[in-house]
Amino acid sequence: FSRNYKLAREVSEAQTNSTKVAGSSSIDNNNNHHNTSLSHEEKSPYAKFRGSKALYVTDFASLAWCEMQQHYALMVGGKKETKAMKAGSKIHNELELQVHDIITIPTKTKEDLWGIKLYNVIVGLESLDFNHKTRELPIFGFVSDLFVFGIIDQVGMKKREGEWTISDTKTRVRPSLPDQKKILPSVKYQLMLYKKLFDTLIQGAIDDEIIYQRLCLNPDLEFSSELANIIKRFRNFDNGEEKGFQPNLRNLMKIVVNNFGKFRKSSNTLEVNYKYQKDGSDIGSLYFEYDENQITNYLTKSAKYWKGDRTPDGVPIEEAWKCQICEFADDCEWRLNKIKELSQTKRALAEIT
Ligand code: SF4
């Protein structure tokens, strides 16, 4: 048994088909989006779209592109998967397989699913400790009381600085680096949130009881046999080193918190690594500095949206070019209102002049 395995939930054919059907029928109906009216919304976006599940880091980061677009995407069950997105996932998978093998196992309970995530954190941290590098490291924590989960593309040791550097991989159509100023705000917020969550876990400042409550998990429920057996082998249970170890969330979480405590805080310099979409080759990296005020203000504002304390905004007029490539443009209330306002202003100006 190798310790260098990560786990993934085995998805049955029935589950795959039902996901596909739900996705395709709700996104588009003969190119007419439906049920996207923002009126009469009673529940907060968090309650409505996530229920007792976690928010993802990307749920926060993607608001920086256009909040209204994110809201519409949630209403119709997701954005259409583009060619670039498919190419990006393929490259991410190939990169992960360079570091870890992945085995799929059947899951029976919600606790099993979170058990897999925690197991993957432990394997990822071991890899970081031994190899000074890990890929696809699960991370979690709270933003304004909301539970957030994410997966960091890569954490590695930069020899010169001697610090852990968090990086995200992006794919590009052209084999050249973009201008430094063109690092998207959504990418910056994504990386800054990863760092914030990573460093909080290192400080041990996390209350696992609240996580179980929020996600409606029973921390003492023993995992289903397949996962329980893997974890027992992983912990050398068979050799009698840890007699009495119960494979459940509470015990895995203790190991996770303890293992994070062995690391130092991550570097303030964050990395965006670019790969060429066509063949996955490395283009190079751009770096930027973590800004605590900037990320705190952004997360406070974003959390208000998720909690339903404010409505989503569309893009400002100077970013109206985003509407031209937006799949929700035809029905977007924000855009239609702006067009109306603009034509009223033009009419008023024509009357004055
Ligand atoms: Fe946002 Fe423009 Fe799309 Fe509306 S049309 S969701 S404002 S990008």
User: Does ligand 1 come within 6 angstroms of the Cβ of 335?
Assistant: yes
Burial level of 275, CB count in 10 A (0-12/13-18/19+)?
Answer: buried
Question: What angle separates helix 292-306 from helix 185-202, to the nearest 10 degrees?
Answer: 100
Report pLDDT digits (tens) over 96-125: 777 778 888 999 999 999 999 999 999 999
Q: Whose CA is nearest to atom 8 of ligand 1?
A: 323
Nearest CA to ligand 1 atom 2: 323
Question: Mean pLDDT throughout 221-249?
Answer: 79
For residue 264, the CA-to-ligand 1 centroid distance in Å is: 41
Q: Please give the distance of CA 296 from its chain centroid, rounded to a whole number.
A: 18
Residue 4 pLDDT: 66
Cβ-based neighbour number of residue 168 at 10 Å: 18
Atom of ligand 1 nearest to the CA of 320: 2
* Ligand 1 nearest atom to the CA of residue 71, by list position: 6
Q: Is the CB of 73 under 6 A from ligand 1?
A: no
How high is the pLDDT of residue 25?
Answer: 29
Q: How confident is the model at residue 232 (pLDDT cuts 50, 70, 90)?
A: confident
Q: Quick one: average pLDDT of 223-241?
A: 76
Is pLDDT at 30 greater than 70 in this prediction? no
C-alpha distances in Å from residue 338, one per residue of 96, 256, 315, 342, 348: 44, 49, 10, 6, 15
> How does pLDDT run across 308-353, given as a tens digit for each residue?
999 999 999 899 999 999 999 999 999 999 988 888 888 888 887 7
Q: What is the pLDDT of residues 198-230, one digit of tens each?
A: 999 999 888 999 999 999 999 999 999 999 988
Q: What is the pLDDT of residue 161?
A: 66
State whether ipTM is beyond 0.85. Answer: yes
The rounded distance, in Å, linking the Cα atoms of 155 and 165 is 6
Between the CA of 322 and the centroid of ligand 1 the distance, in Å, is: 7
Q: How far is the CA of 328 from the centre of ligand 1 (A)?
A: 7
Residue 110: the pLDDT is 94
